[in-house]
Amino acid sequence: MAKLKVLFLYDFPLWGSGSASFIRNLSRHLLKDHQVGIVCPENRKFHKDIKQYPVKLSQIQIPVFVGHPELGKAKKYCELTTQEITELYKNYLDAVLKAMEEFNPDIIHVHHVSLITWAARYFRSLAGIKYIVTTHGSCLHNISLDRRYYSLTIDALRKAAMITAVSGDTKAWFLKMFGQEFSEKLRTIPGGIDIKRYPCKKETKKTDEKYDLKDKKIVLFTGRLISHKGVKYLVKAAKKIKGDVFIIGDGPEKKYLLKLVKELKLKNVHLLGYMGEQESEELKDFYYRADVFVAPSVWEEPLGLTILEAMASKTPVVVTRKGGIPLAVKDGVNGIFVRPHNSNQIAEAVNKLLENEKLRKKMGENARKIVEQKFTWDKITQKFKHVYQKCANNSNNSK
């Protein structure tokens, strides 16, 4: 296999979201056989062997599709003016141009179907560099809200060498939005887990002491606090849940959730805020310490990496049958499905697991096995390596 230079284009900081975790893990694993560069609005150094080309934007200028814990005051893409969109595009062109000159990539991998696909299309025309595109789901939500991004994006997609989606549901959503013409070059490659970072057992004593978790039943949610995640239904279920509910994350819903906890006079709900890279071990402790992980999503959720992280920690999950979640969760095997918007079902499913240690342990063991079998980054990276090699070897140089 020839060694390639792969350049990632990304819209957001390298921490704080599922797609950022996807990029960090994929890029690290690619280093075994390839060189990697990343263009994104991030000044923090990620890896000594990965070239970074920061897009020169202030934090307040980085727009979001839905929400981002590090960008609480950001505008959504659908709220940008024509001038702001143009300035953003110019800034990405400048950063990609620098990467093209210094890194000289063999292939570009664009993460998110959005404005940055336009930049890849631009340099495909001028420099002949092929590119692939990965949709993580939230980018499709943005285009469904704002058709201004549609025309240039579909043109860029037509020139892409290949397109991947993180779940079968995201793939179906993509085809519904852009048409069946893309079905031949669209395939599903989910995100995954660096299983080496998730041992079979983990000591959580330090976190237990810090948060007074000893002898408590723990129910966990981690992720962005946006309406799509359905966290309010977990909070409403808490009054019937026979354990303590810990919510780790930040976002526009946080104030509402705090108000809801106060109104319902809940003593067993704890909002801990966002845990970044510095608190990564503490966050991991919570995955291991939790008796149940709940993801009460109410939208077509791409396969959430937080669910896989909980499963890798041998924690059974209570989830909705939305988007890509059924790729990893099998009802009654490693978790329990509940209907969206249904607090009563959440409470029933959670209590069923909290009250049955044998069932809880069995589902947790099954959860770990499913991750090991299907969702390790070693296996997922091999799929992308095959895609890159196929595109690089294709002699079609049409622009």
Q: Would you state the pLDDT for residue 58?
A: 66
**Residues of 99-134 as b/e, b for ≥16 C-beta within 10 angstroms?**
bbeebebbbbbbbbbbbbbbbbbbbbeeeebbbbbb
- pLDDT number for residue 336: 97
CATH of the domain at 366: 3.40.50.2000
- Write the single-letter amino acid at 359: L
- Are 232 and 128 in the same domain? no
Number of domains in the chain: 2
Asked if residue 398 belongs to a domain, the reply is no
Residue 311 and residue 186 share a domain = no
Regarding whether 279 and 255 lie in a shared domain, the answer is yes
For residue 399, what pLDDT is reported?
52
Of the candidates 71, 99, 61, the residue with the CA atom closest to the CA atom of residue 15:
71
For residues 36 and 177, membership in a common domain is answered with: yes
Q: Do residues 97 and 51 share a domain?
A: yes
- Inside any domain, residue 180: yes
State both tokens at 66.
Answer: 């839905």
Residue 388 and residue 334 in one domain: no
399 found inside a domain? no
The pair of three-digit structure tokens given for residue 254, joined into one six-digit string: 């946080």
Helices (H) and strands (E) in the chain, counts: 14, 13
pLDDT for res 397: 47
Instruction: Report d(CA 163, CA 189) in Å as an integer.
Output: 10
Written as tens digits, the pLDDT of the chain (399 aa) is 679 999 999 999 999 888 998 999 999 999 999 999 999 999 999 999 999 999 988 666 899 998 888 887 889 999 999 999 999 999 999 999 999 999 999 999 999 999 999 999 999 999 999 999 999 988 999 999 999 999 999 999 999 999 999 988 889 999 999 999 999 999 999 988 889 889 999 999 999 999 999 999 999 999 889 898 999 999 999 999 999 999 999 988 999 999 999 999 999 999 999 887 667 889 999 999 999 999 999 877 666 788 999 999 999 999 998 777 888 899 999 999 999 999 999 999 999 999 999 999 999 999 999 999 999 999 999 999 999 999 887 744 445
Same domain, yes or no, for 175 and 242? no
> Do 278 and 231 lie in a common domain?
yes
Is 288 domain-assigned?
Answer: yes
Please choose, from the candidates 147, 84, 157, 145, the residue with its C-alpha nearest in 3D space to the C-alpha of residue 118: 157
Residues 118, 225, single domain; the answer is no
- pLDDT score at 55: 96
Q: Would residue 127 count as lying in a domain? A: yes
Considering the domain boundaries, does residue 273 fall inside one?
A: yes
The total of other beta-carbon atoms located within 10 Å of residue 73's CB is: 7
This prediction's pTM: 0.85
Assess whether 54 and 130 both reside in one domain. yes
The answer to whether 125 and 399 have CB atoms below 8 angstroms apart is yes
Q: Are residues 259 and 347 in the same domain?
A: yes
DSSP string covering 68-95, please? -TT-TTPPBGGG--HHHHHHHHHHHHHH
Three-state secondary-structure class, residue 49: coil
pLDDT at 278: 67
**Is 82 within a domain?**
yes
Tokens of 64: 């979001």
Asked whether residue 261 falls in the same domain as residue 363, the answer is yes
Distance CA 123, CA 106 (A): 12
C-alpha 223 chain-centroid distance: 9
The parent domain of residue 327 ranges over 196-374
